[in-house]
Amino acid sequence: MAGRRTDTKDRIQQVALELFAERGYEQTTLQEVAERLEITRPALYYHFRTKEAILASVVEGLLSSLEELVEWGREQPRTAEARREILRRIGELLEDQWQPLVKFAQVNQGVMQEVPTGERMRAEMLKMVSLLEVPNASPVRRFEARLAVVAVIMGSVAFPIDMDVPESERQAVAMEVAMKLISED
């Protein structure tokens, strides 16, 4: 039974983020979330009382996976291969867990700045980016590490960039660019 509750919570989070991205956070109601899920409002309220609670749980999930990645990365040797693996893992998380939240954040930037865990998320992102930096790197190389993360993010969500790259290839192109940005040559 616990697995079923988790599945329902995951579905609620996914559908809510889709609606927040489509209609905007402020304009979306819990009733609309329940309707899209084809469940009653009381069933939705059993899991989440407010849309703020839905968003907070999604952000907490992202933070948890981000903290796990940072912890894993800190255990790795500071090598080019480890940096490439960190980027690959970021790409996997973006394709899976993080993509709905990134799409939401793209449309609802103001709301993301108001999320109570926003500062914690920023701190964890900086820790993650620091794992991509070559020790004692110049400011240019440190900036390239940050751009590598931005490239991977751009590859996973539809940014309004004028490029003739099919959506199915966008992530691979972005990852290739990101890998070049963290290379040591």
Better pLDDT: 146 or 111: 146
For residue 90, give the 3-state DSSP assignment.
Answer: helix
CA distance linking residue 51 with residue 91, whole number of Å = 27
Determine if the pTM surpasses 0.85: no
Other residues' Cβ atoms within 10 Å of the Cβ of residue 124: 19
Question: Confidence class of residue 1 from pLDDT cuts 50, 70 and 90?
Answer: very low
Quick one: which of 57, 35, 40 has its CA closest to 48?
57
Backbone angle region of 33, left / alpha / beta, with phi > 0 → left and psi within -120 to 50 → alpha? alpha
Class of domain 2-182 (CATH, top level): mainly alpha
Asked if the model's pLDDT at residue 16 lies above 60, the reply is yes
CA distance linking residue 125 with residue 88, whole number of Å = 15
CA distance linking residue 13 with residue 2, whole number of Å = 17
